[in-house]
Amino acid sequence: MTDTLFLTSAEVDDLAEPADYVAVVRDAYRQVGEGAPAEPRTKLLNRDPPGMLTTYAAVLPETGAMGGYAYSAGFGAGDAWFMTPLFDAESGEPLALLDGASMNPFKTGAAGATAVDALARADATEIAVIGSGAQARGQLATTATVREFEAVRVFSPTPENREALADEFDERIDADVSAVASASDALDGADVVVTATTASGPVIDDGDVEPGTHVTAMGQYHPEKNELPPELVARATYVPDIRARAAQDAGSFLAAVEAGLVDEDHVAADLGEVVAGGHPGRTSEEEITVFDSGGTGIETVAAAHMLYQRASEKGRGQTIDFAPASEALTGR
């Protein structure tokens, strides 16, 4: 038997600040860029009742942890459930099982922030956020730790939602945060654009994206979800979180391929390659860069291990017994 720590969402949701997530996620992508294994998501869709079961995993040898996510969405409950198993990367023993709900926007946001730090211009001062849900909040909270933004413009179709996000962050970060009436208004003068929506089609216009802009898109994790217009993908330096995911479920990239604007060679690098220094990322001030963030085990393992360590130090959680296979299968 081995003791494994079980941690509820409430037990970990106050253990880290946005910058903490960014630090461990950036290092995790470096490890993957230097050869640590990580795979794109596996997604199983159910028709009746409609739902999705998703898994993904990564091994971070230097962190000393491996694991990932297993989560369901929809089905009879009409909700989502995030389970995060964490294992020791040397012994293979289970370290923890976390309810991953509360960390989700921040660990995903940290991947976006890592990309902004690696790909956006150093002098970026204005950011547009398209979306107003938990993921948009996570992206803005983390991205604000890697650039000193002076202006933030928020758009989502529901006025109350965009105004609520703007009011919240106007107090949280040192920038002028405002809600605007259209995506075009949000992008006017933006150096960085974040799209975090559930839309099935483009939420910004290609013509609104100025030369030198960096775009992080994180709502396109299905072949039929494409937040970005194909023309934008075609004229950008395109960087997904994991290279293999581009042809699997990166909706905007696949839409650009279907339109005949790009082929699979259009993937410049994945984020790990850029962070590890294997690819330069941005090479000019006029270049447009796109980071396609569909969610991976990389940021999940990095964030979960950080929270596990901090929870252990504070004596949080409860231990549960796990039997090794040799014991459970033989009864010895």
- Break the chain into its structural domains and give their ranges: 2-104+297-330, 122-292
Distance CA 143, CA 307 (A): 20
The dihedral region occupied by 74, where left means phi > 0, alpha psi between -120 and 50, and beta the remainder, is left
Tell me if domain 2-104+297-330 and domain 122-292 are identical in fold: no
Confidence (pLDDT) at 331:
60
Distance CA 225, CA 42 (A): 16
Distance CA 144, CA 293 (A): 17
Confidence (pLDDT) at 228:
96
Confidence (pLDDT) at 43:
87
Query: Exposure of 207 by Cβ count < 10 A (0-12 exposed, 13-18 middle, 19+ buried)?
Result: exposed
Confidence (pLDDT) at 223:
77
Confidence (pLDDT) at 171:
92
CATH of domain 122-292: 3.40.50.720
Confidence (pLDDT) at 326:
83
Confidence (pLDDT) at 1:
66
Class of 2-104+297-330 in CATH = alpha beta
Which pairing describes strands 214-217 and 289-292: parallel, antiparallel, or unpaired? parallel
pTM of the predicted protein model: 0.95
- State the 10-residue block means of pLDDT for the chain, 332 residues long: 90 97 98 96 92 94 96 90 95 95 94 98 97 96 97 97 96 96 98 94 96 91 85 97 92 94 96 97 96 95 98 96 82 59
Distance CA 130, CA 112 (A): 14
Among 148, 68, 142, 151, residue whose Cα is nearest residue 112? 142
C-alpha separations of 301 from 25, 28, 41, 112, 305 in Å: 9, 8, 14, 16, 6
